[in-house]
Amino acid sequence: MVLTRPAALDAALRQCTRAPREALCRNATQRIPYTARVQRRWASDGSRPPMPPGSPGPSRVVAPKTRLAVGVVFIGSLIYSMATGDKPPSAESEPRGGVQAEGPTIAERDNLSKRESGVTPSSPMRLRMEAFIKENQQEIVRTLEALDGNRFVVDKWDRPHGGGGISCVLQEGNVFEKAGVNTSVVYGTLPRQAISKMRANHKALDPDVESLEFFAAGLSLVLHPHNPMAPTVHLNYRYFETANADGTTNAWWFGGGTDLTPNYLFDEDVIHFHRNIKEACDAHDKDYYARFKKWCDEYFYVKHRGESRGVGGIFFDDLDETEKDQESLFAFVQSCMGSFLPSYLPIIQKRKDMPWTEREKQWQQLRRGRYVEFNLVHDRGTAFGLSTPGARVESILMSLPLTARWQYQHEPEKGSREDRLLNVLRKPVEWV
């Protein structure tokens, strides 16, 4: 067996050899009993040592070489602790059964990679997705600030176990009552129970492990305008990955989408919004738009109200290697993200300064109540965020409006614009 001493230990031993009269080595020598020093010489030259007067008869030393090795490690760690002031490693911290200590986490690997090489096209998808969402966050925030005339409050935060996020929030602006554009990067560990549940959609997950490291990154956006004639809009694109013990990817998938929630219907606005999304989808797969629009209509459904949250858009989740290769799906997400500003900006610019009445404002508040109900009762993203250890609640609940209203047994007048909206929400429309 080859024993490898730490560099600090080597330095301490050399210091003792070169200067045996220094206090450190003198104290270390004084702590070793005479019999131990004699036995150490015996182990080195093979001869039996003379017994001190009054000592018991000779006894057989069991496993002398093993004891020698243990003694060297113990004394070495003692010298190391005296030289450095650190505690020597305990038995609990040492690897058992000859197994080496655990390697770095994926968070540590990623931080090292970013420091040494930055983010390149050959970097892991984790780092590329993180860079992508942060770039888009900056672009969207700059555009909305120019539209509103007010600045977002930028709140950066870190997670103890790796990752963090940037929450950009604007409240009581000129155009937006509340607007949030958040990025989050989360590193953590999935327990066996969570892995078992996820295997329903991801067979690549190993069912025999007790835990897996995971990475999640996404951009989430919700804009609530002041004007009842201007629609609320939501966007979220994300990437999730689990890692093996050696840092290699175990399983991965993309998810996300965007949808429009008007208080008053302007058909031309909804058609424009859907057309832009369809063009982004068609560039990658002609079946995507119809498939993901249906998914959106079904997902953003307020079951206890019997109506959709809004007029839809697209929604997808769990897109992994069974759908397409990783690069193709990343390119698809990039196209969807790129279509957001062209799909929403013309609408908000057209509606933000329209006249409105107090009755129309109250209707907007009621519709926001429905928005809150869906997010808190049915939304999977909110549930996942709130159940994640160390989650940042303020960022998760950023999607909720600044004000909302719940009025007992409110029913709109038959044939009114409000009534027309409810009819559309109860039966989804094909807009393009």
Asked whether the beta carbons of 183 and 203 are under 8 A apart, the reply is: no
In a domain, 213, yes or no: yes
23 in any annotated domain: no
pLDDT at 44: 41
* 189 touches 307 (CB < 8 A): no
Residues 247 and 103: beta-carbon distance below 8 Å: yes
Q: How confident is the model at residue 201 (pLDDT cuts 50, 70, 90)?
A: low
Collapse the DSSP code of 298 into the 3-class scheme (helix H, G, I; strand E, B; otherwise coil) and give the result.
helix
> Is 83 within a domain?
no
Token pair listed for 345? 């900006």
Could you read off the pLDDT of 306-335 as tens digits, one per residue?
999 999 999 999 999 999 999 999 999 999
Please check the confidence at residue 26 and state whether its pLDDT lies above 50. Answer: no
Give a yes or no: residue 299 inside a domain: yes
pLDDT by residue (tens digit) across 338-386?
999 999 999 999 999 999 999 999 999 999 999 999 889 888 778 777 8
Name the nearest CA neighbour of 375 among 261, 266, 271, 210: 261
Domain of 157, in residue numbers: 124-426
Report pLDDT for 209: 72
Q: Mean pLDDT, to the nearest integer, of 142-171?
A: 93
> Which CATH number fits the domain that encloses residue 147?
3.40.1500.10
Q: Which residues pair with 287 in a beta bridge?
A: none
Q: How far is CA 91 from each of CA 87, 102, 350, rounded to the nearest angstrom?
A: 12, 15, 70
Total count of domains within the chain:
1
Question: Is the pLDDT at 92 greater than 50, yes or no?
Answer: no
Is residue 126 scored above 60 in pLDDT? Answer: yes
What pLDDT band is residue 109 in, cutting at 50, 70 and 90? Answer: confident
Higher pLDDT, 414 or 210: 414
**378 belongs to the catalytic site:** no
Q: Which of 202, 226, 234, 284 is catalytic?
A: 234
User: Is residue 425 predicted with pLDDT exceeding 60?
Assistant: yes
Are 308 and 324 in contact by the 8 Å Cβ rule? The answer is no
What angle (nearest 5°) sits at the alpha carbon of residue 265, between those of residues 259 and 268? 80
Compute the average pLDDT of residues 63-87: 40
Question: Global pTM?
Answer: 0.73
Residue 104: pLDDT over 90: no
Decide if 102 is inside a domain. no
DSSP string, 355-371: ---HHHHHHHHHHHHHH
**235 domain residue, yes or no:** yes
Q: Are 253 and 414 in contact (CB under 8 A)?
A: no
167, 182 Cβ separation under 8 angstroms: yes
Check pLDDT > 80 for residue 389. Answer: no
In a domain, 133, yes or no: yes
pLDDT at 337 over 90: yes
User: What value does the mean pLDDT take over residues 47-60?
Assistant: 49
Which pairs with CB-CB distance under 8 Å and at least 24 residues apart come from 161-165?
A: 161/107, 161/187, 161/188, 161/189, 161/389, 161/390, 162/105, 162/106, 162/107, 162/108, 162/186, 162/187, 162/188, 163/107, 163/187, 163/215, 163/217, 165/392, 165/395
The two tokens of residue 165 are 């996020």
The tens digit of pLDDT for each residue in 221-276 reads 999 999 999 999 999 999 999 988 777 888 999 999 999 999 999 999 999 999 99
Query: Locate tokens 């996020």: which residue?
Result: 165
In this structure, of 46-55, 235-244, 290-299, the range with the lowest mean pLDDT score is: 46-55
Q: Scan for tokens 């600045």, then name that residue.
A: 151
Q: What is the mean pLDDT of residues 115-142?
A: 94
SS3 assignment for 240-265: EEEECCCCCEEEEEEEEEEEEECCCC
Per-residue pLDDT, 278: 98
Residues 6+ apart with CB under 8 A from 108: 162
Q: Look at residue 144 in the predicted model and tell me its pLDDT.
A: 98
Q: In this predicted structure, what is the pLDDT of residue 67?
A: 42
Considering the domain boundaries, does residue 94 fall inside one? Answer: no
